[in-house]
Structure 1
Amino acid sequence: MPFFHDVGQHLPDVLVQEGDPGNSISMAELFRGKKGVLFWCTHLPGFIQMAGDLRARGVDEIACVSVNDVFVMSAWGKENGADGKVRMLADPTGAFTKAVDLFLNNDHLIQVLGNLRSQRYAMLIEDGVVRKLNVEPDGTGLTCSLAPNFLSEI
């Protein structure tokens, strides 16, 4: 059974990058002992805007992850004012996205973009355990995983 159907699973101990290629961080360690939100990159502006609301609900870590390189993620975070609000995590090989079984299975997009991409999602994590996972029904929509909709459910 795919990971995303199993709320209650621990995050996999997969390394992603933050800031520069030499700075790897374990997804399992990042959320250990904390309440956190992890979301896919398209939703960044909304989660930046709602960072204070999420923190008011006890969220310790807010992180954006993308199947992209660390340079792009760092620049995108700076451009959008993520510093101090949302951690920008790069999953350049897709190892984390594969481990949580959230690759977007769309041959047309793979041909156009040149590689695999992630589905759009947002998850609530408590002490490394996924407590809530909102995955867009078609993998690409903008409904249940947007910051305001997700915040209203936690």
Structure 2
Amino acid sequence: MTVSEGSTFPQGVKFNYVPYTPEDSDVLACGVPISMDLDKEIAGKKVVLVAVPGAFTPTCTANHIPPFLEKINELKSKGVDEVIVLSANDPFVMSAWGKALHGADKVKFVSDPNSQFAKANGLDLDLTDKGMGVRVKRFAVIVDKGKVTYIGVDPQGVEKSGVDAVVAKL
């Protein structure tokens, strides 16, 4: 499998996440993780999948995801049905991160268990030498009714995977 512009988004992808509920809005509240069947999640929709190497890490927390949250209305006005934030962190960490960023009610913060999707698509990042294991590269993908219309991967910074690059491609 590979994700590339013009290709059909891979099928059979499963992520895990803790659905946001107002009663569990406190950052320390732990919901119950469930599986997300991405085939069903993206069917007939325009979805932006934004991936980061790690929740609560400097670039991801300060520069990458907050602009997506700030511009969620602009994204939706351009036809985006859903924004999904992806990392290899476990679903509890992703849930807490979404709440800490005040965005858990705006986008879904999901986990790529053991970086399975990332590895299968050449989007994994080995940070073992830094004590972080195998992670997900920083990238953004626009999927429109199952077709990949944009993919931007950033080895450094957020030029190709940031919200401004995504908005320009919508």
> Does the pair score TM above 0.5?
yes
Q: Indicate yes or no: 2:131 matched with 1:110.
A: no
Aligned to 1:34: 45
Residues in 2 aligned to 1:76 and 1:62: alpha-carbon distance in whole angstroms: 15
Uncovered stretches (5+) of structure 1, i.e. residues with no partner: none
Residues in 1 aligned to 2:107 and 2:33: alpha-carbon distance in whole angstroms: 20
Residues in 1 aligned to 2:5 and 2:75: alpha-carbon distance in whole angstroms: 24
Match of 1:147 among 149, 154, 163: 163
Residues in 1 aligned to 2:76 and 2:97: alpha-carbon distance in whole angstroms: 22
Aligned to 2:36: 25
Q: CA RMSD in A?
A: 1.8
Uncovered stretches (5+) of structure 2, i.e. residues with no partner: 19-30, 53-59
Q: What is the aligned length?
A: 148
Query: In the superposition, relative to structure 1, how do residues 58 and 5 fare at CA in structure 2: closer, same or farther (>3 Å)?
Result: closer
TM-score by length of 2: 0.79
Once superposed, which parts of structure 1, at least 4 consecutive aligned residues long, lie more than 6 Å away? none
Deviations 1:120-149 (A, max 9, x none): 11110012221111112xx23321111122
Deviations 1:20-63 (A, max 9, x none): 56410112221111111000132211111111000000100110
Percent of aligned pairs with the same amino acid: 30
Kindly state the Cα deviation for residue 114 of structure 1 after the two structures are TM-superposed. 3.5
Deviations 1:55-96 (A, max 9, x none): 000100110000110010000000101133111111131112
The answer to whether the 8 Å contact 2:3/2:9 transfers is no
TM-score by length of 1: 0.86
